[in-house]
Amino acid sequence: MPFLLDDLRADVARRYDRLGLPSWPDPHADVHGPADDEYGRVTDPERLRIVHARATAWVDVLVSRLGARTEPVGPQDRTALPGEDRGLAVVPPRDGAMRLLLLEREGDADTPGLPAPLAVAVVRPDVVVERVPVCACDACDPGSEALLDEVDQAIGHVVAGETVVLRHPRWSATWQPGGAELTGGGRRMRFDRAMELCRRVHAGERVRLPWRTEAFAGAPWGEPG
């Protein structure tokens, strides 16, 4: 739903820009690759908080423009362990749309003093569709614009009803337009088979899933007001 995402994303960008947060170019845009000493090094870790500020701008827009509401991540989320997840859930205004969770997970930060990455999840805290950044070291730094785009893409696809997640005890598949991932597959599940199932679930087909597989998909949240 480009008409929905373009409008919402522009509003998110306007609200975010008012904050005057740091921005920086891709430090590797004009070189062949990162230097050896960039691996494991984190320069100015506080600037990575821009990903959480961007997520907060999204929450403001979803509440004010679509009529969503927020609620804490609490005991109803059986997979949220005390002290592990901080953040909130955004409840869509439309039945059939997926609940969005925006979380900070201290356990994902492998460097002392480094801000916890943003985990974008649907329905439950354990159904994560994206982590930003995946790695915070200088070698993996793509620049601020790319980080913000990752946040926008992950949240935007959920809001537009364009995210499908399949969860099995031994593998997990995530599908969105323009991107797909399979972890733990191998002989248990082929990538092409997993993506076929995801696309059929997204299309609303009746799909016979492998035993013990959960499917997470939802309708668009609605048009901006």
Give the number of other Cβ atoms within 10 Å of residue 143's Cβ: 15
Question: What confidence score (pLDDT) does residue 84 get?
Answer: 57
Question: What confidence score (pLDDT) does residue 35 get?
Answer: 87
| Cα atoms found within 13 Å of the Cα of residue 61, Cβ hemisphere only | 27
- Report the mean per-residue pLDDT for the chain: 89
Whether 97 contacts 67, CB under 8 Å: no
The per-residue pLDDT for range 131-143, each reduced to its tens digit, is 999 988 999 999 9
For CA atoms 173, 120, 20, 11, give the dihedral sign.
positive
Residue 9's closest CA among 157, 189, 164, 216?
Answer: 157
Whether 125 contacts 77, CB under 8 Å: yes
What are the C-alpha distances in Å from 90 to residues 29, 37, 66, 121? Answer: 35, 40, 11, 10
More confidently predicted of 157 and 112? 157
State the average pLDDT over residues 18-26.
95
More confidently predicted of 112 and 178? 178
The reported pTM is 0.91
What's the rounded Cα separation, in Å, for the pair 26 and 190? 34
Domain borders along the chain are 2-160, 165-217
Question: What confidence score (pLDDT) does residue 122 get?
Answer: 96
The per-residue pLDDT for range 68-125, each reduced to its tens digit, is 999 988 666 656 555 556 889 999 999 999 999 999 876 545 555 677 899 999 999 9
Residues 6+ apart with CB under 8 A from 102: 55, 58, 59, 87, 88, 89, 90, 118, 119, 120, 121, 155
Q: Residue written as tokens 């997970």?
A: 105
Question: What confidence score (pLDDT) does residue 98 get?
Answer: 97
The per-residue pLDDT for range 28-76, each reduced to its tens digit, is 888 778 888 889 888 888 899 999 999 999 999 999 999 999 998 866 6
Whether 138 contacts 31, CB under 8 Å: no
Return the C-alpha torsion angle 129, 132, 137, 139, nearest 10. Answer: 80
Question: What confidence score (pLDDT) does residue 106 get?
Answer: 64
